[in-house]
Structure 1
Amino acid sequence: MVDGSIFAGPALRRLRKREGMTQAGMAATLGISPSYLNLIERNQRPLSARVLVQVIEQFDFDPRNLREEEAIGGVEGLARRLADERFSDLGIDRDEVSEFLATTPQAAAAFARLYDNAAPGSTAAGGDDALSASRREIERWRNHFADLDHAAEQLADEMRLSRSDIDAALTERLREKHQLSVRILPLDVMPGAIRRLDLHARQLQLSEMLDRSSRNFQIALQIAQLEQREAIDNLVAGAQLTDASARQLFERHLTGYVAAALLMPYGRFLRACDQTGYDLTVLQRRFGTSFEQVAHRLTTLQRVGQRGLPFFMARVDRAGQFSKRFSGASGATILESEASCPLWIAHEAFERRGELCVQAVMVDGADAGPAHWFTMARTVEASGATGEARFAIILGVEARLAGDLAATKGERLDEAGAQPIGMGCARCQILGCRQRSLPPRGLPLHIDRIVRGLTPFEFQPL
């Protein structure tokens, strides 16, 4: 769907064939010309509201079938699957992905189903498989759950949350509505936990190691669990995840989604983004949240008629391993890799602790999605950790959309000034990279006994 238009030609064509009708016959039934129906079936014209009503009334048709591609996450969802390293030698670009989905949506859905079920099918899949299944469901929704957002916003208005009394409002809600008090306990009492619900004592117990933003988030989580249980359960059930761990991970994500939406209500948060140029420091201060919480929230701003910029967000460790990645509506395939590029700003961020680092990049191997991005990274400490548990949070938005961001002041956004990076060495075909640790997968190496190049792996890119 683009600006409310529905392009559903293949679905309408299948309906016509199912009914055994010619284009002229169906056009007459719908009150349109055969030439116009032909354009609709070829996705050269959108399906207007009037024609859609006629389709529903004349053929007793379920309109949800017109947008079956939503079940696989649209072009972005299909592009993410085709960005898998197993297809890296095929050079599939975004235009091909769009054409595949537009012309043969059933075949695209079949491919997506096979891809999604390619993981081991046991009833107790491994943690990595469960995480992948949960993430696929999040990405299918593009990390925007409209009903949960509206419910959280209404609750925030009811509680009248503001930056001055958010702590008191959250605590009071638990006490008045659920007869639960909040108790802060010392580290030696809760050495291995940051949060515990003691129903016998009617207490939500929190570790003293949590900072203010993390403490508020944990209270908001508890409120989300108690007051949005049915809505969350319905979404989990609708996902039809076969693995129990995947269901639990998806449920945990949805609960955290409500908590974040409660602390950063959609309308107020988006207005603050627009007013400040998405100034991350100001947003943290204004809503009493952490950098990571704000980063998460930026990937969810996709309310119809009230959209924010399409950010992606990831969390990586020092070894370049992803522990979180949300593409949202960004269409990013940069996250579809087992490792991150060492030339990406995420790795430099570890050397500049707590500092916001920025970098414009051109991504090699991103044919199925945008390649030119403006990215930001900053280190964060694990919530409630007593040792060195540090990660880098990365945010990215297409460079063409980043001109008004507070973080881009003084930065070059043109392609010529962008740093070339790859999707991990095994998937990168950038020549002459001194940082290369592995040869590109699927390409023959050129070993010269006479001349030694800049790297030990010489090859000819596709």
Structure 2
Amino acid sequence: MTNPKLFAGAAIKRLRRSAAMTQVALAEALDISPSYLNLIERNQRPLSARLMLLLAERFDFDPRQLIAAEPGGGIDAIRQRLTDPLFEDLSIDRAELEEWLIASPNSAEAFVRLFDNRKAAGDSGESAAPDPIQLVRREIERWRNHFADLDAMAEELADELRLGAGDLYGAIAERLRVKHQLMIRILPETVLSDKLRRLDLHARQLQLSEMLDPASRTFQAALLLGQIEAKGEIDALASGGHFTDRAAEKLFRRHLSGYFAAALMMPYERFLKACEQTGYRIQLLQRRFGAGFEQVAHRLTTLQRVGSRGLPFFMVRIDRAGMISKRYAGASNAPLVESAHRCPLWDIHRVFEQPAEIRSQLVALEDGSTWFTLSRAVQGIGSGAGGYTPAFAIGLGVSAEVGSALHYARGQDLSIDHATPIGLGCPACTRPQCSQRSAPPRSRPLTFNERERGLTPFDFVND
């Protein structure tokens, strides 16, 4: 797979100036010419992997911060925004975007801000309060959902807890009791009827509902421990997000606390090693780390440690109506994550029929990319409106180029000839004569022939 070029001139310049170094001094430290460094800072040359590592060693920082500092969040973040139906009639390839970022990085950043503000206003063009979820998603996207400092701290703490007890939940409960004077108490559903957890500081108790399964209890205990012991790291990341919206900052902090909890349950190197040994077999990973399916799915999107990366998974979660409630692109750059609609030919919509089954499917998008996907239904906790138990479908996937490493793909031909052609939802899809079509493509004019009736009632100009 081709690695995307990283243009991080603005970030390099800030690093150099914060260290009070001239271009000549930094160039000498990196063993390059001052003229070459000048080109890098002007985004006329990409940053090589060697220079990234040298900079990380010299300035003692996480190289992923360079990606977060790219104009507009980087080329892949801009490509994801261009999947919006507004741009369906445009054919903007990667090379064109690279030229744009090099020539006009500030205009790329301006485009992203205008686009995000438009989305926050509900596409109405009117002034509106910013959408906190959209703001948080953008910040997570800038980090590729990988927070190295939280991972490192959680990994160190997990090793420390393992020395004291083989049971992680028991070890966390003991640490909360001894170090923070907090007890865990499991309460009946009738007492916590509308809550899953409650922190009662007066009683010094973390109260958990009996409705939580063991994996969820461990997660909630780990989340509280992270809020206490990783507060400094979480504060720094939240501050770096520069949120002006209070709700967005709180949502981002919640995401970071959950990230720490998952990292404590599934420590990075041990989890990655288990993934590679088992072919990312999710059922085995669940048992080995005492985690739920959705928790493992989340964790798979975060394995982007420099020098020790896992496969670039994406994840989405939808309900029976197809409404999306979670989406993480990770490092996958998958259009399936950003699209406003989903294709009914994608197996994610069929998993409600057999909730315990993991369905695998090779799909091909109109842009020629192929993706190996895994889908499974999961149940929520408690009862929703009308007393129904909530149900969701989790969709995971990687590029077919790396899909052969998965246990679920063994023995399968992952070439595009064996893929199911799908689209990014009917309004964005231009595949002709699809019998499942429920709406015409927005980018094509309709045609009518009263003497004929095709597989779909919507005939349109097909380029």
TM-score range, shorter chain: 0.7 to 0.9
**Alpha-carbon spacing, 1:299–1:44, altered in 2? closer, same or farther (3 Å):** closer
Q: Using the alignment, how far apart are the partners of 2:194 and 2:47 within structure 1?
A: 59
Task: Give the aligned partner of residue 266 of structure 1.
Answer: 268
**Alpha-carbon spacing, 1:99–1:4, altered in 2? closer, same or farther (3 Å):** closer
Alignment equivalent of 1:304, drawn from 295, 303, 306:
306
Task: Give the aligned partner of residue 422 of structure 2.
Answer: 421
The share of aligned pairs that are identical, in percent, is: 51
Shift of 1:384: 4.3
Alignment equivalent of 2:213, drawn from 203, 211, 220:
211
Q: Using the alignment, how far apart are the partners of 2:255 and 2:446 within structure 1?
A: 43
What amino acid sits opposite 1:180 in the alignment? L
Are the counterparts in 2 of residues 11 and 66 from structure 1 also a CA contact under 8 Å? yes
Q: Using the alignment, how far apart are the partners of 2:325 and 2:282 within structure 1?
A: 21
Task: Give the aligned partner of residue 411 of structure 1.
Answer: 412
Shift of 1:443: 1.5
What amino acid sits opposite 1:440 in the alignment? P
The worse-fitting range, judged by mean Cα deviation, of 376-385 and 183-192 is 376-385
Shift of 1:332: 1.0
What amino acid sits opposite 1:329 in the alignment? A
What amino acid sits opposite 1:151 in the alignment? M
Alignment equivalent of 2:252, drawn from 250, 253, 262:
250
1:257-296 matches, within 5 Å, as: 257-296=259-298
Give the TM-score taking structure 1 as reference length. 0.85
Are the counterparts in 2 of residues 124 and 243 from structure 1 also a CA contact under 8 Å? no
Q: Using the alignment, how far apart are the partners of 1:395 and 1:216 within structure 2?
A: 23
Are the counterparts in 2 of residues 7 and 47 from structure 1 also a CA contact under 8 Å? no
Verify: 1:400 aligned to 2:401, yes or no: yes
Q: Using the alignment, how far apart are the partners of 1:148 and 1:35 within structure 2?
A: 34
Alignment partner of 1:388: what SS?
coil
Alignment partner of 1:361: what SS?
strand
Verify: 1:443 aligned to 2:437, yes or no: no
**Alpha-carbon spacing, 1:77–1:457, altered in 2? closer, same or farther (3 Å):** same
Shift of 1:205: 0.7
Are the counterparts in 1 of residues 378 and 394 from structure 2 also a CA contact under 8 Å? yes
**Alpha-carbon spacing, 1:205–1:66, altered in 2? closer, same or farther (3 Å):** closer
Q: Using the alignment, how far apart are the partners of 1:77 and 1:4 within structure 2?
A: 12
Q: Using the alignment, how far apart are the partners of 2:68 and 2:289 within structure 1?
A: 37
Alignment partner of 2:455: what SS?
coil
Q: Using the alignment, how far apart are the partners of 2:346 and 2:246 within structure 1?
A: 35
What amino acid sits opposite 1:434 in the alignment? S
Gaps of 5+ in 1: 14-26, 57-62
Q: Using the alignment, how far apart are the partners of 2:333 and 2:432 within structure 1?
A: 26
Are the counterparts in 1 of residues 382 and 389 from structure 2 also a CA contact under 8 Å? no
Alignment equivalent of 1:125, drawn from 125, 129, 144:
129
What amino acid sits opposite 1:72 in the alignment? G
**Alpha-carbon spacing, 1:339–1:160, altered in 2? closer, same or farther (3 Å):** same
Q: Using the alignment, how far apart are the partners of 2:165 and 2:127 within structure 1?
A: 45
Shift of 1:237: 1.9
Task: Give the aligned partner of residue 78 of structure 1.
Answer: 78
Are the counterparts in 2 of residues 335 and 423 from structure 1 also a CA contact under 8 Å? no
Alignment deviations for residues 174-230 of structure 1 (CA, whole Å, 9 cap, x no partner): 111111111111111111011011111111111111111111111111111111122
Taking only aligned residues, the RMSD between alpha carbons, in angstroms, comes to 3.6
Alignment partner of 2:374: what SS?
strand
1:165-244 matches, within 5 Å, as: 165-244=167-246
What amino acid sits opposite 2:459 in the alignment? E
**Alpha-carbon spacing, 1:276–1:102, altered in 2? closer, same or farther (3 Å):** farther
Task: Give the aligned partner of residue 340 of structure 1.
Answer: 342
Task: Give the aligned partner of residue 94 of structure 2.
Answer: 94
What amino acid sits opposite 1:262 in the alignment? L
**Alpha-carbon spacing, 1:34–1:308, altered in 2? closer, same or farther (3 Å):** closer
What amino acid sits opposite 1:373 in the alignment? W
Task: Give the aligned partner of residue 381 of structure 1.
Answer: 379
Q: Using the alignment, how far apart are the partners of 2:94 and 2:389 within structure 1?
A: 41
Q: Using the alignment, how far apart are the partners of 1:426 and 1:220 within structure 2?
A: 42
Q: Using the alignment, how far apart are the partners of 1:384 and 1:71 within structure 2?
A: 43
Task: Give the aligned partner of residue 319 of structure 1.
Answer: 321
Alignment partner of 2:435: what SS?
coil
Task: Give the aligned partner of residue 104 of structure 1.
Answer: 104
Q: Using the alignment, how far apart are the partners of 2:286 and 2:371 within structure 1?
A: 23
Are the counterparts in 2 of residues 10 and 104 from structure 1 also a CA contact under 8 Å? no
Q: Using the alignment, how far apart are the partners of 1:208 and 1:321 within structure 2?
A: 29
Shift of 1:328: 0.6
Q: Using the alignment, how far apart are the partners of 1:258 and 1:448 within structure 2?
A: 59
**Alpha-carbon spacing, 1:345–1:34, altered in 2? closer, same or farther (3 Å):** same
**Alpha-carbon spacing, 1:186–1:373, altered in 2? closer, same or farther (3 Å):** same
Are the counterparts in 2 of residues 311 and 395 from structure 1 also a CA contact under 8 Å? yes
Are the counterparts in 1 of residues 358 and 374 from structure 2 also a CA contact under 8 Å? yes
Gaps of 5+ in 2: 14-26
* Bigger relative CO (Cα 8 Å, ≥ 6 apart): 1
Give the TM-score taking structure 2 as reference length. 0.85
Shift of 1:276: 0.7
